[in-house]
Amino acid sequence: MDNEINDLIEDIEEEFMDVMDEDELQGIVGKEIDDAVDFIDNWISPVRATATKYYRGEPFGDEEEGRSQVVSMDVRDTVQAIMPSLMRIFHGSERTVEFAPNGPEDVAAAEQATAYVNFIMNRDNDGFLVTHSAFKDALIRKVGIIKAYWDDQTKFETHELTGIDDAGLAAIAADPAAEIEVVASQPMGEPQMDPMTGAIMPPPMMHSIRVTYVHPDGRVKIEAVPPEEFLISREAKSVDEADFVAHRRIVTVSELVAMGYDQDDVEGLASAHDDMNTNVERYTRNSALTNEMNERNDPAMRKVLYVESYIRVDYDQDGIAELRKICTAGDGKKILANEPVAIAPFATFCPDPEPHDFFGMGIFEAVADIQRIKSSIMRNTLDSLAMSIHPRVAIVEGMVNVDDVMNTETGAIIRQRAAGQVQPMTMPFVGQAAFPVLQYMDELKEARTGISKASAGLDAGALQSSTASAVQATVSAAQQHIELIARIFAETGMKRLYKLILQLVTSHQDRERMVRLSNAFVPIDPRVWNTNMDVVINVGLGRGTDQERMMMLRQIGEMQKEAMQTMGQQNPLTDMGKLSNTLKAMTELAGFKDASQFWNDPAEFQPPPDADKPDINEQLIQVQIQQIQADIQKKAAELDLEMKKAQMIDDRERDKLEADLYVKAEEMKAKYGTQLNVEQIRAKLAIDREVMKAQADVIKEAAREE
């Protein structure tokens, strides 16, 4: 697809404008490549190869057999002392680099762009390892390079389906993202007759298919470029101002075909030898490499020199040179692609840049001579110690057994024909005089690099018996050099890297993408962003340690709360949003990257709606209802009391009547001899009493319901 677009662009350019001849363009590009290769391979790479050897502590080449060959590791020690602080600064909780809005309408987009670029670096890519490699290259080998480019990825999702009828097959085929392969088809049922025409209709078909869904999914890719693969014109001062900058590498024919180039065009470009064999830096880093690259007979795996050049050339013949991306391959530098671009995709880092020059200085240039001197002093000191422990001896030839003299075993005897035939030549140890020199060299290294034990707070001997202020001043002064390197990295390479990623996503991301930012899934559409947003740096010099900043933030928070308590939450000095920023900064400084899991954004807080207040009429109605209910309850209580009183009176009267009944019965029996049925009369009275109670209960229930 890319080749088709490039061919279309070339056809349009050739039809509507007078463009440079391809042979002429190939000659210009080839000359620039040759000149840059000569500059890098013969002037820069040898120095960087030596720096790599010093970092690894390899021998200097002047060692003598039988003498000490120890090598001081000052370059490595200094680099390893700087790296942890740099990685903490750029990959800690705070945002070292962020986008700044150009106007009020860009505030939300700038915040989202900053979070999205950090997401791309650390989630879509392994940003920690990429920056670690670039920073280490910068400290050791003058410059570290990160390349950012758009990678048109394609994801394939394959499903095997069975029992699909013709309608289902047509529906799946209508999906433009689906590629269908029919594995098998067979009729289901018997042929049927069309009732209208009488024709015999074939039975419906059932298919077994394999469906592959193609999902284009481009991403921004970042990678650390090996320093020897990076080419730049010798007069360049920066990547932006360079007339020529390129990335050369050895790739296979298969990789070129995967990039979209025609297989027939690239198969003949393979070389039998390593086209980068003149670069000593590459072989210093990996001494196992050989010049014979293409020993395999597989044509797809043969090696090709591929150079991705970004050159300023007047291709359209309008008198103004524009930046173009021209890709060449093979020893003959055949042009495979040619298209205009807006910016070269490289971000470079240098710890000690030189004004008006691209290549500055690294740690190696500052420490190499110290490592050489300390190694020499340490070797001589160890040799002196060895000579004092195992001194040389003088013997009378023929009077001593030479094998016994050469034997250094502890307690071994030396056979001699007469006494005094072996004379030890005592050598005093003179290494004590070298110790002050070693200390002086360490002080010199500290003065050059700013790296010492005090920078890590480890020099207990130097810091003891000192006030807290003096200790803090010593540590802060030592850390300022690292902060300066971090500021240079941020202002140069990291700033450009953020701009590159912003330019890539706004130019190539053609659909909305759902990503997880600040503990929430957010739709990201860079097409609506302002591509001219500035990049600001948050790395400051002398801003104190984390403990000091935490204390200061705590004091700021207390003052903000005091201001809101005194003047109210809405006041001219501060508000809840600024207090929230202080709390989030304290949380991030404590090491928690996602402060949203601890603090909400006051701007997003929505208080619950106030309950509807009843009007005065409703309140009066409620009061009247309560009064009526109280009256009903009172009347029910009074009625219940009256009923109880009536029941008590009735019970008393019935008890009196029952007593009188027994008296009358006895009188009649005594007077007339007649026996009354007292129990029958009592049962009837009891029934009347129960009837009366039931009537009372009904009356009470009716009153309660009312």
pTM above 0.85, yes or no: no
Lowest-pLDDT range, 242-246, 630-634, 653-657?
Answer: 653-657
Q: pLDDT tens digit string along 176-199? A: 777 777 777 777 767 777 677 767
d(CA 79, CA 58): 16
Of how many residues is the chain composed? 706
Asked whether the predicted pLDDT for residue 33 surpasses 60, the reply is yes
Give the residue carrying structure tokens 């807006």: 342
pLDDT at position 236: 96
d(CA 415, CA 405): 8
Amino acid at the residue 584: K
d(CA 678, CA 658): 9
Give DSSP secondary structure letters for 229-284: GEEE-TT-SSTTT-SEEEEEEEEEHHHHHHTT--HHHHHTT--SS-TTTT-HHHHH
Lowest-pLDDT range, 246-250, 456-460, 488-492?
Answer: 456-460
H or E stretch at 100 = strand 97-100
Q: Are 382 and 182 in contact (CB under 8 A)?
A: no
Q: Give the helix ranges, DSSP H, for 515-615.
A: 546-567, 576-589
pLDDT at position 458: 47
pLDDT at position 555: 87
Mean pLDDT of the chain: 82
192 φ, ψ (degrees, to nearest 5): -125, 155
Cα distances from 529 to residues 99, 110, 330, 494, 520, in angstroms, run 11, 8, 41, 20, 20
pLDDT at position 460: 46
261 φ, ψ (degrees, to nearest 5): -80, 155
> What is the arithmetic mean of pLDDT over 71-94?
89
Cα distances from 622 to residues 611, 615, 618, 629, in angstroms, run 18, 11, 6, 11
Q: Are 36 and 345 in contact (CB under 8 A)?
A: no
| Token pair for 53 | 């050897």
**Closest to 586 measured CA to CA, from 558, 618, 549, 559:** 549
Cα 186 from chain centroid (whole Å): 53
DSSP type of residue 610: P
Q: Higher confidence at residue 660 or residue 675?
A: 660
Asked whether the predicted pLDDT for residue 332 surpasses 90, the reply is no
d(CA 341, CA 613): 66
Asked whether the predicted pLDDT for residue 496 surpasses 80, the reply is yes
**CB atoms inside a 10 Å sphere around CB 670:** 9
Cα 68 from chain centroid (whole Å): 47
pLDDT at position 93: 64
- Bridge-based pairing of strands 422-425 and 392-395 is antiparallel
Cα 480 from chain centroid (whole Å): 26
| Token pair for 368 | 């190499």
> What is the arithmetic mean of pLDDT over 410-439?
88
pLDDT at position 12: 56
Q: Are 51 and 364 in contact (CB under 8 A)?
A: yes
Going from N- to C-terminal start, the domains of the chain cover: 154-216, 392-421, 563-607, 619-705
Q: Within 13 Å and on the Cβ side, how many CA atoms surround 319?
A: 0
Residues paired with 159 in a beta bridge: 211
Q: Within 13 Å and on the Cβ side, how many CA atoms surround 548?
A: 10
Give the residue carrying structure tokens 């991705």: 308
Strands (E), 396-433: 422-425
> If pLDDT is split at 50, 70 and 90, which confidence band does 548 have?
confident
> What is the arithmetic mean of pLDDT over 335-352?
96
| Token pair for 296 | 């395999």
pLDDT at position 680: 64
> What is the arithmetic mean of pLDDT over 541-568?
78
232 φ, ψ (degrees, to nearest 5): -150, 150
d(CA 70, CA 224): 33
> What is the arithmetic mean of pLDDT over 252-268?
88
Q: Are 367 and 60 in contact (CB under 8 A)?
A: no
pLDDT at position 306: 95
d(CA 227, CA 276): 13
| Token pair for 682 | 């009592």
- Bridge-based pairing of strands 144-151 and 346-349 is antiparallel
d(CA 251, CA 162): 42
d(CA 111, CA 207): 52
Please enumerate in sequence order all residues whose Cβ is within 8 A of that of 374, keeping only pairs 6 or more positions apart, or say none.
72, 74, 438, 441
Give the residue carrying structure tokens 């495979």: 336
> Could you give the percent of the chain with pLDDT greater than 70?
81
> Could you give the percent of the chain with pLDDT greater than 90?
36
Q: pLDDT tens digit string along 102-142? A: 888 888 888 889 989 999 999 999 999 999 999 999 999 99
Q: pLDDT tens digit string along 571-628? A: 888 888 888 888 888 887 777 767 777 787 777 676 665 555 556 677 677 777 877 7
d(CA 316, CA 322): 9
Q: Are 305 and 6 in contact (CB under 8 A)?
A: no
Give the residue carrying structure tokens 């499903």: 159
Choose the most confident range, by mean pLDDT, from 299-303, 467-471, 585-589.
299-303
Residues paired with 438 in a beta bridge: none
pLDDT at position 607: 66
pLDDT at position 132: 97
Strand order in the sheet with 219-225: 219-225, 144-151, 346-349
Q: Are 79 and 140 in contact (CB under 8 A)?
A: yes
